[in-house]
Amino acid sequence: MKVLITGGGTGGHIYPAIAIANKIKDEIKTAQILFVGTEKGLESELVPKEGYNLETIKVSGFKRKISLDTAKSLVDLACGLKDSIKVILKFKPDIVIGTGGYVCGPVVFIASMLNIKTVIHEQNVIPGVTNKILGKFVNRVLVSFHESKKYFDNDKKVYVTGNPIRKEFIKISQESSKEQIGAKEDEFVVLSFGGSRGAEKINKIMAKVIEKTYDNKKIKIIHVTGSRHHKEVMDFFKEKGIGNNIKDSVKEYIYDMAKYMGAADLAICRAGAITLAEITAMGIPSILIPSPYVTNNHQEHNARVLEDKGAAILVKEAEFDEDIILENIYKLSKEKDKLNTMAKKSREIAKPNATDIIYSNILEVLKS
């Protein structure tokens, strides 16, 4: 079986694609899997690291407002369609799977025009523009939330599966994870991060939080800056004279995120769909700061699902400061009953078998 998987730009589109690829490879050892992405997207780094081949095409996203960039995007789209035809005709896939991001557009569209089986997966409550358009052409649409079905014209081909996560996020011991990251069993471990690219405001606020808690023996904060802001954050600590004290607390990027999530008593993060799938699979209580810079404010809609169930505390970026975070860290580290209730609610939301359900849907489409 030949499977072409396309999706990229950010980790939110790439990690589901990798989870699906790994599941297919686990079930069908002889399966040939090819990824299609862009040179600039995070996929160019993550996909080869997972051992998969990646073909790149030239394509870029469209701005919301008409500008000179629109003309460039149209030219890139034409190139992307042409490149997609070449890749598909050369690889001859039995099925093409899209996990979102503008790179999916030309690849999945061309596959559908060539009568190749097609499936797309939408991670967020509110679908992205690319997936909304592709929903008209593909054989099946897989969504992560029941609330998403109404955004697609033909809901008869829309199936709720949940978000696929890598299997290392499903079963993991907190005691073992704490030991692996150098945390004591009785330390309250806080893991904070701003998504695959990092987030400037989260970095600034968490730097101030770490400055005030780094010498607290009962609380251990691990913060992931992302590559864009790492130097800026480290310079802040050097200016404060504590650069050497926080070396183990601040990471530029974490590849084995499951180990660190497994150790966490509390997560402070954005509300990207895959992040939420991973923290709920592990039953981690969270403070969510939805990005206000995403299309349709979809992260806030994602976060509301967890907040409404009692699994998370939602803090809008405009209201986000170190006082709110410190107050909640101190409060939750002492109120174990509340923390345990949030953890329980988090697990109840999880769909740890989402990858299996997605795999079953792929097989059904192949047989149809």
SS3 assignment, position 152: coil
Asked whether the predicted pLDDT for residue 166 surpasses 90, the reply is no
**DSSP 8-state class, residue 63:** P
The pLDDT of residue 70 is 57
Q: How confident is the model at residue 265 (pLDDT cuts 50, 70, 90)?
A: very high
* 32 among annotated binding-site residues: no
Asked whether the predicted pLDDT for residue 271 surpasses 90, the reply is yes
SS3 assignment, position 4: strand
At position 180, the amino acid (one-letter code) is Q
Q: Which of 164, 188, 174 is nearest to 260 (CA)?
A: 174
In the numeric block, the tokens 């998403």 are attached to: 148
* Beta bridge mates, 64: none
**DSSP 8-state class, residue 296:** G
Distance CA(269)–CA(191), nearest Å, equals 8
The pLDDT of residue 60 is 65
At position 22, the amino acid (one-letter code) is N
Give the domains, in start order, of the chain with CATH numbers.
2-165+352-367 (3.40.50.2000), 168-349 (3.40.50.2000)
* Beta bridge mates, 81: none
Structure tokens at 240: 């404060």
pLDDT tens per residue across span 107-154: 999 999 999 999 999 999 899 888 999 999 999 999 998 889 999 988
* 195 among annotated binding-site residues: no
Q: Which residue has the higher pLDDT, 68 or 294?
A: 294
Distance CA(145)–CA(165), nearest Å, equals 15
* 70 among annotated binding-site residues: no
Distance CA(243)–CA(245), nearest Å, equals 6
* 299 among annotated binding-site residues: yes
The pLDDT of residue 167 is 83
Distance CA(38)–CA(121), nearest Å, equals 19
* 124 among annotated binding-site residues: yes
- Region of 279 on the Ramachandran plot (φ > 0 left; ψ -120 to 50 alpha; else beta): alpha
Distance CA(203)–CA(101), nearest Å, equals 25
Asked whether the predicted pLDDT for residue 64 surpasses 60, the reply is no
SS3 assignment, position 72: helix
Helices (H) and strands (E) in the chain, counts: 14, 13
* 11 among annotated binding-site residues: yes
Q: Which of 182, 250, 200, 246 is nearest to 222 (CA)?
A: 250
User: Which residues have CB under 8 Å from 224's CB, separation 6+?
Assistant: 191, 192, 193, 194, 198, 251, 252, 253, 254
Mean pLDDT, residues 236-265: 92
- Surface-to-core class of residue 279, CB atoms within 10 Å of its CB (0-12 exposed, 13-18 middle, 19+ buried): buried
* 254 among annotated binding-site residues: yes
Distance CA(334)–CA(340), nearest Å, equals 11
HSE-up of 164 (CA within 13 Å, CB side)?
27
pTM reported for the whole predicted model: 0.81
Q: Which of 198, 181, 285 is nearest to 11 (CA)?
A: 198
Share of residues in the chain with pLDDT > 90 (%):
76
The pLDDT of residue 65 is 59
